[in-house]
Amino acid sequence: MAQISAQTTSEAGAALTYSSASGGGDSFTNTGKELLHVKNGGGSSVTVTLKSRNTTPVIDGYGPVSKPDVAITIPAGADRFAGPFPQKAFNDANGRLSMTYSSTTSVSAAVIATR
């Protein structure tokens, strides 16, 4: 599993660097302010699955609440933005969000840090 570093943008703009999707999945440090951008340059749809913690702690007197994984379908030749992601719902013990891909052929991702 590869780790993707978050990139920052500015008022002047930024050229993002994209990482090729890893066969074992990828992860990134999630502060709850990141956006994920995934591009599918392949000829078939790809599903990116964002792994949840399965249960979140009690929130506002309710819970624990079961949180399913989030599946994002990206059509052939398309791209999708997702996020931000609540830390309590997605972060593992290391503060990272993990994701897997149904296919990695011509798939790349970038993580954008927001303020």
Model confidence pLDDT, tens digit, residues 69-105: 999 999 999 999 999 999 988 999 999 999 999 999 9
- Reported as a pLDDT band with limits 50, 70 and 90, residue 1 is confident
Across the chain, what does the average pLDDT equal?
Answer: 92
Q: What CA–CA distance (Å, rounded) separates 28 from 22?
A: 13
Which residue is associated with the tokens 């949180």?
Answer: 67
What pLDDT is stored for residue 64 in this prediction? 67
Task: Give mean pLDDT, residues 5-12.
Answer: 93
What pLDDT is stored for residue 59 in this prediction? 63
From residue 10, alpha-carbon distances to 14, 47, 52, 79 in Å are 7, 30, 30, 22
DSSP structure string for 9-75: --TT---PPPEEPPTT-EEEE--S-EEEEEEE-SSS-EEEEEPP-EEE--BTTB--EEE--EEEEE-
